[in-house]
Chain A
Amino acid sequence: MTPGVALGAPSELELSRRAWRQRRARRSTLVALLSTLLFGVVAYLVVTSAPGWPRVRTTFFSPTVAWESMPEIGAGLWLNLQVLLVGGFLVMVVGLLAALTRSLRGPAFAPLRIVATAYVDLFRGIPLIIVLYLVGFGFPALGLQGMPTSPFVLGTAAIVLVYGAYVAEVFRAGIESVHPSQRAAARSLGLNHRQTMRIVVLPQALRTVTPALLNDFVALQKDVGLISVLGAVDAVRSAQILVGQSFNFTPYVVAGLLFVLLAIPSARLADAVTARARRRQQSGSLL
């Protein structure tokens, strides 16, 4: 925003307006900082003045226990991270396939559509933990040749089944949000259904649903902790073991904080992507 370059220096008036805006921005920041600080102080005083605080502090916030539990929980978190990355990728694939299948037109595809719809209905309905139990304990019990028994593989599969169903609906909403006129324009150019989807509809749909997908990714980050119910020694499980050994709950707090640290970057990324999408859609600078 430097029109002055082309038109000579800005007028006194404009300079004073800019100065005022800057002052106001600075004041707003200051007010925000002070109110945050005040809130923090009040919250701290309320918690620490509680009668049970000294005991809570030693059982939940013991620095020595926290420090000693760090390596084991960290190693467990590495497992969670692997599940997250592999699972996240597979969730996208499964979700996209289910969404595309559901949006197929024509009577010939009816059976496929029904399968996809049934999958989405089923796995959006069942609680994740039940799917984990059924997949984690049921599949190995079949005793089939080559059936994996590692809780890592089975846990990831269960998570992918459930999150794939959620993400399928996000994708489908995105596909349907692209205005029909776009499809009409593409088809009238001679593109077939597949090309229309791949070249015209999906790129626009993806742009719309990216914030929602990132939100699901953040949710996935903490749900990977649920594979501990299958016996996988992840961050949650190792915290549980440490709590059992020491009768001190600090490892839970440590695991919780580590999950939060894991989630913050993606949450900020989601914010940034959303903000960018909004900027692109909006020409007016004032509304």
Chain B
Amino acid sequence: MSEVASSPVGAAPAPVLEVRGVVKAFGDNVVLRGVDLAIGEHQVVALIGGSGSGKSTLLRCASLLETVDDGQVLLDGEDITDPRIDADRVRRRMGVVFQAYNLFPHLSVLDNVTLAPTVVHGRSKGEAREEALALLARIGLSDKADEFPDRLSGGQQQRVAIVRALAVHPRVLLLDEITSALDPELVGEVLAVVREVATQGMTIVMATHEMGFARQVADTVAFLDGGVLLECGPPAQVLGDPVEARTRQFLARVIDAGRL
């Protein structure tokens, strides 16, 4: 954390994604109360916390699916919460994977993956197709390239969704509880893909309930509670020896549920 927390430009490398004092409310319900977080290149940050703690909202603000009510989000030092910027241009540099996969049901697996590279990034059909097939091969789904999403299992669909997000070569990959809608036996195959993507050096921010996975793969674990970032540090410390009482309480409940 130390190397990415501080200065914008200078000795330490600038963070890829930086959240500064972000506030977000839906009506009277204040979901984020001034969150600060910086994610350096090749870092994997796991956001943990109970339901309604603001994990998903933070990711939705970072991916410009929501406007912030105060504070800033910076991507490579550029203030992307400035209403003057072209939001579409910013979104091109991010990959987002949703809890419910959100594959396009009317397009084949291959077309789902090649859609953004060809339509948004103007790559040639052949080139996009080749790369998509290579990516699908990496996750062991080459034989499903021409299938439609509803013929795939949840785990397979989610793996395709990850590949779809990766196909645009994003600067940062945002994963919003991507295993929460999956059978326990399918969770493993999706996490294996995330692990592989992480070892390849992708910068990742993930909201997750998989504490074991966070401990193994994340460099930093951030605990959100009631819209406040209570604790942030290496997984061994936050998950093993938390400072805050609320974190301990949360982890105790997770352990009771058999999830750690």
Chain A residues within 8 Å of B, Cβ to Cβ: 1-4, 6-7, 10-11, 13-14, 17, 20-21, 24, 284-287
Contacts and interface: CB of A to CB of B under 8 A. Distances in A.
Contact of A1 (B27, B82, B84): B27
Contacts of B208: none
Given A14-B71, A286-B65, A7 B34 contact: yes
B87 interface: yes
Nearest to B82: A17
Interface residues of B, number: 24
Interface in B24-67: 24-25, 27-28, 30, 33-34, 60, 64-67
A7 B69 CA distance: 11
A6 B33 CA distance: 9
A285 B23 CA distance: 15
A115 B51 CA distance: 52
Interface of B: 21, 23-25, 27-28, 30, 33-34, 60, 64-72, 81-84, 87
B83 A21 contact: yes
Contact of A17 (B28, B34, B64, B81): B81
A14 B87 CA distance: 17
Contacts of A20: 83-84
Contact of A284 (B21, B24, B65, B72): B65
A284 B3 CA distance: 33
A206 B28 CA distance: 30
A2 B30 CA distance: 9
Contacts of B83: 17, 20-21, 24
A125 B208 CA distance: 56
A118 B87 CA distance: 52
B96 to A, nearest CB: 11
B66 A286 contact: yes
Nearest to B25: A3
B199 to A, nearest CB: 32
Contact of B70 (A11, A286, A287): A11
Contacts of B23: 3, 7, 10, 14
B69 A3 contact: yes
Contacts of A6: 25, 30, 33
Contacts of A21: 83
Contacts of A286: 64-67, 87
Given A21-B83, A284-B60, A286-B87, A10 B70 contact: yes
Nearest to A284: B65
Contact of A7 (B33, B64, B65, B81): B33
Contact of B69 (A10, A24, A284, A287): A10
Nearest to A18: B83
Contacts of B68: 14
A285 B83 CA distance: 14
Nearest to A13: B72
13 contacts: A3-B23, A3-B24, A4-B70, A7-B70, A11-B71, A13-B71, A13-B72, A17-B82, A20-B83, A285-B66, A286-B65, A286-B67, A287-B65
